[in-house]
Amino acid sequence: MPNESDFHEGAELPAIGWKRREQMEADEQRTLAPFAQKSGNSRGRKFPEPPHVYRTEFQRDRARIIHSRAFRRLEYKTQVFLNGTADHLRTRLTHTFEVASISRTIARALGLNEDLTESIALAHDLGHAPFGHSGEEMLAECMRGHGGFEHNRQSVRVVELLEAAYPAFPGLNLTFEVLEGLQKHQATNAGEARSPSLEAQVADLADEITYYSHDLDDALDFAILDSDQLDESAIWRRSHERVAAQNPELSGVELHKNIIRDIIDLQVRDVLATSASAIVAAAPASAEAVRLQRANLIRSSDELSAANRELRRFLYANVYYHPRVAVVNRRACEMLRTVFEGYMREPERLGDAAARRIEREGLHRTICDYIAGMTDRYLLEEHARLSAAES
CA 284/CA 148 separation, integer angstroms: 37
pLDDT digits (tens, 9 = 90+) for 303-313: 999 999 999 99
Is 165 a member of any domain? Answer: yes
Helix 114-123 × helix 92-109 angle, to 10° = 160
Determine the average pLDDT of the residues in 302-328: 89
Least Cα distance to 98 among 222, 307, 238, 260 occurs for: 260
Helix 92-109 × helix 252-282 angle, to 10° = 50
More confident residue, 81 or 249: 249
CATH value at residue 158: 1.10.3210.10
pTM, full prediction: 0.91
What does the pLDDT read at residue 222? 81
pLDDT digits (tens, 9 = 90+) for 55-94: 999 999 999 999 999 999 999 998 876 666 656 778 899 9
Of the listed ranges 150-159, 160-169, 350-359, the one predicted with least confidence? 350-359
pLDDT-derived band at 13 (thresholds 50, 70, 90) equals low
CA 202/CA 300 separation, integer angstroms: 11
Cα distances (angstroms) measured from residue 372 to each of 121, 182, 340: 19, 17, 10
Is 11 a member of any domain? Answer: no
Is 3 a member of any domain? Answer: no
Is 353 a member of any domain? Answer: yes
What does the pLDDT read at residue 7? 45
Q: Which long-range contacts (C-beta less than 8 Å, at least 24 apart) are formed by 66-69?
A: 66/122, 67/165, 68/126, 68/158, 68/159, 68/163, 68/165, 68/172, 69/163
Decide if pLDDT at 54 tops 50.
yes
Is 4 a member of any domain? Answer: no
More confident residue, 342 or 225: 342
Contacts of 284 by beta carbon, 8 Å cutoff, 6+ apart: 34, 35, 290, 292, 293, 297
Q: Over pLDDT 70: what percentage of the chain?
A: 91
Q: Which long-range contacts (C-beta less than 8 Å, at least 24 apart) are formed by 180-184?
A: 181/116, 181/119, 181/120, 181/123, 181/124, 182/120, 182/123, 182/124, 182/152, 182/155, 182/156, 183/152, 183/156, 184/152
What does the pLDDT read at residue 132? 87
| Residue-averaged pLDDT of the chain | 90
Is 218 a member of any domain? Answer: yes
Decide if pLDDT at 33 tops 80.
yes
Decide if pLDDT at 128 tops 50.
yes
What does the pLDDT read at residue 325? 81
Domain count, the chain: 1
Is 220 a member of any domain? Answer: yes
pLDDT digits (tens, 9 = 90+) for 214-242: 888 888 888 888 878 888 889 999 999 99
What does the pLDDT read at residue 16? 61
Asked whether the beta carbons of 194 and 291 are under 8 A apart, the reply is yes
Is 9 a member of any domain? Answer: no
Domain span at 313: 23-390
Phi, psi of 78 (to 5 degrees): -70, 140
Helix 252-282 × helix 198-221 angle, to 10° = 160
